Amino acid sequence: MQARGPLMIEHRLIERMISLIRVALADIQSTGRVDPLFVDDAVDFIRIYADRTHHGKEEDILFRDLDSKDLKATDRRIMNELIEEHAFGRKTTRALVEANTRYRNGDNTALSDISGNLETLVDFYPEHIEKEDNVFFPASRTYFTDEEDQAMLAEFQEFDRKMIHEKYRTVVEGLEKSG
């Protein structure tokens, strides 16, 4: 498998979560309510899987290695756009968490902020993924030898191996702090 293989497989799972969020948004519109637990699950998925695990591999390994290459101006511009979009995703997720907390505390004005931020995520992710799958990943591949590509793939696997440990260390540390 090429290094972009696992990243593209991850995109497919992110798309499935985006579809679930779309359904939840329609539900919010028809009922005027939201299940804060669904928002918690969506936030956990976006933070741990889409951001830390997936964007983590893109930024810390793929973009890092690309940065040392003599990139064409268009490819460098797209890479910078992708980094900005990751940051925008984080900001939107923070706003979503904040709105969900207000909603739980009985603030009904929080509902429109929850749906607004969910809509932003639903609009932004598919375009971001499309740009990577169809434009940026194929262009990136041309800068690497087969050996370099396979070295990135191995580093991706090592990155993933550490994730489950990081996730649950964070859970324990969070509980220790609140306890």
Which stretches of the chain bind Fe ion, using CB under 5 A?
58, 132
Cβ–Cβ < 8 Å for 112, 32? no
- Smallest gap, in angstroms, from Cβ of residue 30 to Fe ion? 32
The tokens of 119 are what?
A: 């809509």
Cα separation, 18 vs 54, in Å, equals: 15
Cα separation, 60 vs 88, in Å, equals: 17
- Smallest gap, in angstroms, from Cβ of residue 74 to Fe ion? 17
Choose between 58 and 65: whose C-beta lies nearer to Fe ion.
58
Choose between 28 and 78: whose C-beta lies nearer to Fe ion.
78
Which phi and psi (to 5°) does residue 59 adopt? -75, -45
Choose between 112 and 134: whose C-beta lies nearer to Fe ion.
134
- Smallest gap, in angstroms, from Cβ of residue 174 to Fe ion? 26
